[in-house]
Amino acid sequence: MEKLKKFNPDQIITVNSAVEMAEEMVSNFYKMSASQWLRPKYDVKTLIDLSPEEILDEPFAQIIRYKGQKKDTSLGSSAYDFYKICLQDHCILMTLDRTPGLKLFPFTLYIVTHELIHIVRFSKFLQSFDASPEEKIAEETRVHEDTHQILINVQVSGISTVLDFYNQWRQPFDKLRNP
């Protein structure tokens, strides 16, 4: 496997800032208190912390669902879903290099906001993690629309370029499936 380009330390700081801002905005959008926000257990990881099976060549991020369980408990009722947002540094950085005007902070802000919306929707049973391919396409459209709603009025340099970049995903999913 070829060596994939990873975020450098300065970029990691930028990504962490984007994650913090995304968490706050998604929490506000869904009107979730701090205690409610802790219920959907998740983590955000970059390429350096991903296992080989968590690395992809296409998307900017993926969510993997794991089953969690508190230590020293053997009851199945104590199990919970744990979601891991796997940022694909190499895909993000390649797109930034190829797309004039895209900047790391607003682009990552969009990506993480989008993935957090998915996690909230899974956690609130608004969408099944194991949906059919057709339903997953429809869900992507819904989540891109919600992401746009959250970010449209955010005062972040470069956010309009990112919203334009993702505009096609806000179209009805039939148009995406049958170009």
For 69-115, how does the pLDDT look when each residue is reduced to its tens digit (9 = 90+)?
A: 666 666 656 677 889 999 999 999 999 999 999 999 999 999 999 99
Q: What is the mean pLDDT of the chain?
A: 86
Alpha carbons within 13 angstroms on the beta-carbon side of residue 31 total: 0
Give the pLDDT band (50/70/90) at residue 171: low
Q: Which residue has the higher pLDDT, 8 or 140?
A: 8
Rounded Cα distance between 104 and 27, Å, is: 22
Within 8 A by CB and 6+ apart from 120, the residues are: 26, 30, 32, 40, 126
pLDDT digits (tens, 9 = 90+) for 20-34: 999 999 999 999 887
Of the candidates 153, 85, 91, the one whose C-alpha atom is nearest the C-alpha of residue 113 is 85
> Residue 37 to residues 1, 26, 119, 170, 173: CA-CA distances in angstroms?
38, 9, 11, 26, 29
For residue 176, is pLDDT > 50?
no
For the chain, the structural domain boundaries read 9-177
Q: Which residue has the higher pLDDT, 128 or 20?
A: 20
pTM summary value: 0.87
Mean pLDDT of the 25-47 span: 84
Tokens of 95: 């797109």
Rounded Cα distance between 161 and 76, Å, is: 46
100 CB neighbour count, 10 Å cutoff: 7
